[in-house]
Amino acid sequence: MARPIPYQPSLLRLLHGITAILVPLAWLSGLVVLANHDGRWLRLPLTVPGEWIDIHGTVGALLWPVALLFVVYAIRVGRVRLRQAANAAALLGLVLAVGSGKLMQEDWLRTGQLDHLPYHLHLVAWMLITGAVIWHVCSVLRRGGVRFAASMGQLHVRDNDGPRHWATQLLQRR
Ligand code: HEM
Ligand code: HEM
């Protein structure tokens, strides 16, 4: 008989899902910002037209509140999962990327100010989150295969795990 797909709490799936969509968008839009504004690191053969700093800033502005809730959830409710080093690394990468992003000022790159400390931190965090998420996804696949990975994307919600229960879950320490 096939093993059932593990049930993941709906609040975790929601926060994790939005994070897992927005982080790649931030990653890609950040790459374009880097290519357009900072030729020291990366020279693409073309510059991509568009207000990419604004686009990236918008993705970041959507990401940070969700990331904040996700971090609170992961530390309070999902602490047991953080014993998996790859999960903890993904969380740390997220905190560093979002934290350093909040220290960025949108005019720095437009005006060629490429030597601010938060900018260097943001670039280091960008590389760290890349490695951490690759490690995290490999670890998930190694431990439970595609079925385990897909458990984060399933839509079924149990009766006792609906939005009405989210506030209590967040406030409960495990
Ligand atoms: C996964 C990678 C990345 C994440 C998660 C991320 C996240 C963020 C966040 C949360 C903000 C703050 C937005 C706000 O003010 O609310 C931000 C700002 C910013 N980031 Fe990133 N970032 C990433 C990669 C990059 C890269 C590679 C660059 C390239 C240079 C970059 C350049 C910037 C700039 C210029 C800002 C200021 C934009 C603004 O305030 O409008 N980011 N980022
Ligand atoms: C930006 C990308 C991602 C970040 C920042 C991230 C972060 C995390 C974190 C911090 C946890 C632990 C949650 C807790 O302690 O409650 C977790 C769990 C998990 N993530 Fe991700 N994740 C990302 C992408 C993905 C992707 C793409 C998949 C699917 C392939 C995935 C599948 C899972 C699974 C199955 C778990 C449960 C692991 C366990 O029980 O040990 N994640 N993720």
Spell out which residues line ligand 2, taking CB within 6 angstroms. 12, 16, 19-20, 23, 74, 78, 81-82, 84, 87, 90-91, 94, 133, 136-137, 140, 148-149, 151-152
Q: Where are the domains of the chain?
A: 10-171
Instruction: Please choose from 12, 16, 148 the residue to mutate so as to test ligand 2's pocket, defined by most ligand atoms within 8 A of CB.
Output: 16
Alpha-carbon span 80 to 14, nearest angstrom: 19
- Distances from the Cα of 66 to the Cα of 8, 13, 15, 39, 45, angstroms: 18, 12, 6, 32, 35
CATH number, domain 10-171: 1.20.950
pLDDT tens-place values along the chain, 174 residues long? 567 789 999 999 999 999 999 999 999 999 999 989 998 877 777 778 889 999 999 999 999 999 999 999 999 999 999 999 999 999 999 999 999 999 999 999 999 999 999 999 999 999 999 999 999 999 999 999 999 999 999 999 999 999 999 998 888 766
Say how many C-beta atoms besides its own lie within 10 A of residue 78's C-beta: 20
Question: What count of other Cβ atoms lies within 10 Å of the Cβ of residue 145?
Answer: 11
